[in-house]
A and B are shown apart, each in its own frame.
Chain A
Amino acid sequence: MPLDTARVRPTLELRGVSKQFSDLRALSDVCLRIEPGDSVLLYGPNGAGKTTLLRVLSTLARPTEGQVLFAGADVQRNLAAAKAAIGFISHTTFLYGELSARENLEFTGRLFGLPNLQQRMDAVLDLFRLRERAKTPVRELSRGYQQRASLARAFLHDPQFLLLDEPFTGLDAASAESLQELLQRLPEQGKALVFSTHNFDQGTAIAQRLVALEGGRVRFDGPLSLAPLPALRITAQGKEIRKSE
């Protein structure tokens, strides 16, 4: 029986999640709970497991061990409701290169069964300033425009959980600032944001909570103001402290 997500407070949770790829253990015993209003910066060096963690949260990847919970129950019990509540972007755009941004959004909207699709499409095209390039095939767009189209796709169905893997990649300064303002407003709208970025300053300007990953393990999960940055080998400027220092 589908969960009544209107009554149950939607949360997204990892309990003891590990993910193994052949001989690589990408995640080890990760416990993480995301609630509406959370704004979480996922930080760590290359290979720490940030992308894998986001893929598991988004339901694109299944954990090797542990559980992914949505609204308190195993996500597999109510996969459709979980997917409808999640917006995810990754290193690839999830877009069809032969189709325009508008056509990609239309296709996505039909998969999600969205009402008032044209109005929603116009709204996200305006939000990410894509109107003037909306009819251009995605493969002909610059990297920055492709990233904006990918973001528009993630926001189209007005999800409760935004899982963004390096969302600022390819964006020019104006677009990055605009995205930063948008992401800062999400918690007050009751949405949850989990994002990764290599720009620590940019991340801390948006997030209120830090989850530091290293070697697939969570080394810290708590308010940004309480994060032991030196212990996490992160300077105040957001640079990693090399071991020799």
Chain B
Amino acid sequence: MHTLRVIWAIFSKDMRVEWRHRETLASMSIFGVLVVFLFNFAFEPAREETLRLLPGLLWVAFAFAGVLGFNRSFAAERENAAFEGMRLAPVDPGAIYLGKMLANLFFLGIAEVIVVFAASLWYNFSFVPVLGRFALITFLCTLGYVAVGTTFGAIAANTRMREVMLPVLQFPVAVPIFIAGVEASTGALKGDPLGDYAGWIKLAAGFSVVFVVLSYLLFEYVLEE
């Protein structure tokens, strides 16, 4: 019970900090929308090409918005060594991980909604007919990505070139989730039968479970000085 209260305390603390300075969500959303916007000029896809390019474009936008978010999440913890203040408390390191992960998942989820809305306007594409499946795929893949990003964000926070180190560390590990996200999203947006891309959804779910559990168990070693 105490663990759940700690997770909630960390999550609500991150919400409160973000409400005060409003930098993380704004920068993630604007960056993601800019990626979508620039791709529109770079490729000028014809209508029939939109379905082919859109999933990859969205996941590129989500990936880089996520990097921004993970870096900003731990920037707030580095200020005044606030993260060490958490480590001084008698809490399970895994609970710290889950609290930070849930906060990152919330921020990235909001940013993704904004990016998808922008993409639907620019590419004149309606997600409504496939919203349920697309939302499930996006949630599962985002969960896996945030599980990895939160862990590597904590590791990179203690390095000198953290803005560069984070994507260098996390993208190779997160590649399977991006592939699953693009393939499953393509199938969903094209309206293909679920069975055609169910394997990718299972991969995303399995990846997410494995990395959430692994990160929960190993986070105390990430925190060690």
Could you list which residues of chain A lie within 8 angstroms of chain B, going by C-beta atoms? 55, 58-62, 79-84, 86, 88, 90, 92-99, 103, 107-108, 110-113, 137-138, 153
Give A124 to B9 CA distance when docked, in angstroms: 21
In the complex, the answer to whether A107 meets B9 with C-beta atoms within 8 Å is yes
In the complex, the answer to whether B90 meets A108 with C-beta atoms within 8 Å is no
Give A61 to B73 CA distance when docked, in angstroms: 23
In the complex, the answer to whether B20 meets A94 with C-beta atoms within 8 Å is no
CB 8 Å contact bits of B24-37 with A (1 = contact, 0 = none): 00000000000000
- Nearest-CB distance from B6 to chain A (Å)? 6
Q: In the complex, what residues of B have CB within 8 A of residue A90's CB?
A: 81, 84
In the complex, the answer to whether A112 meets B80 with C-beta atoms within 8 Å is no
Q: In the complex, what residues of B have CB within 8 A of residue A99's CB?
A: 13, 16-17, 20
In the complex, the answer to whether B84 meets A111 with C-beta atoms within 8 Å is no
In the complex, the answer to whether B80 meets A103 with C-beta atoms within 8 Å is no
A and B contact pairs by CB, cutoff 8 A, 16 listed: A60-B225, A61-B225, A62-B225, A82-B90, A83-B88, A90-B81, A92-B84, A93-B81, A95-B80, A98-B17, A103-B16, A112-B90, A113-B2, A113-B5, A113-B90, A137-B20
In the complex, the answer to whether A111 meets B224 with C-beta atoms within 8 Å is no
Question: Quick one: which of A60, A96, A113, A138 contacts B88, CB cutoff 8 A?
Answer: A60
Question: Quick one: which of A83, A86, A93 contacts B80, CB cutoff 8 A?
Answer: A93
| A87: nearest chain-B partner, CB-CB | B88
| A80: nearest chain-B partner, CB-CB | B90
In the complex, the answer to whether A153 meets B85 with C-beta atoms within 8 Å is yes
**Beyond A98-B16, A111-B90: 16 further Cβ-contacts under 8 Å?**
A62-B224, A62-B225, A80-B91, A90-B81, A94-B82, A94-B88, A95-B85, A97-B79, A99-B16, A110-B6, A110-B9, A111-B9, A111-B86, A111-B91, A112-B89, A153-B85
Question: Quick one: which of B13, B79, B84 contacts A60, CB cutoff 8 A?
Answer: B84
| A103: nearest chain-B partner, CB-CB | B16
- Nearest-CB distance from A112 to chain B (Å)? 5
In the complex, the answer to whether B5 meets A110 with C-beta atoms within 8 Å is yes
Q: Is B21 on the interface with A (CB-CB < 8 A)?
A: yes
CB contacts under 8 Å to A, within B96-128, are none
- Nearest-CB distance from B222 to chain A (Å)? 14
User: In the complex, how many residue pairs between chain A and chain B have their CB atoms under 8 Å apart?
Assistant: 77
Q: In the complex, what residues of B have CB within 8 A of residue A79's CB?
A: 90
Question: Quick one: which of A96, A103, A107, A153 contacts B79, CB cutoff 8 A?
Answer: A96
- Nearest-CB distance from B21 to chain A (Å)? 6
CB 8 Å contact bits of B62-103 with A (1 = contact, 0 = none): 000000000000001001111011111111000000000000
Give A88 to B88 CA distance when docked, in angstroms: 8
Kindly list the 7 A-B residue pairs having the minimum CB-CB distance in the complex, ordered from nearest. A94-B85, A111-B89, A80-B90, A92-B81, A110-B9, A98-B20, A83-B90
Give A113 to B7 CA distance when docked, in angstroms: 12
Question: Quick one: which of B9, B17, B80 contacts A92, CB cutoff 8 A?
Answer: B80
Give A82 to B89 CA distance when docked, in angstroms: 10
| B96: nearest chain-A partner, CB-CB | A111
Question: Quick one: which of B2, B89, B225 contacts A108, CB cutoff 8 A?
Answer: B89
Q: In the complex, what residues of A have CB within 8 A of residue B16's CB?
A: 98-99, 103
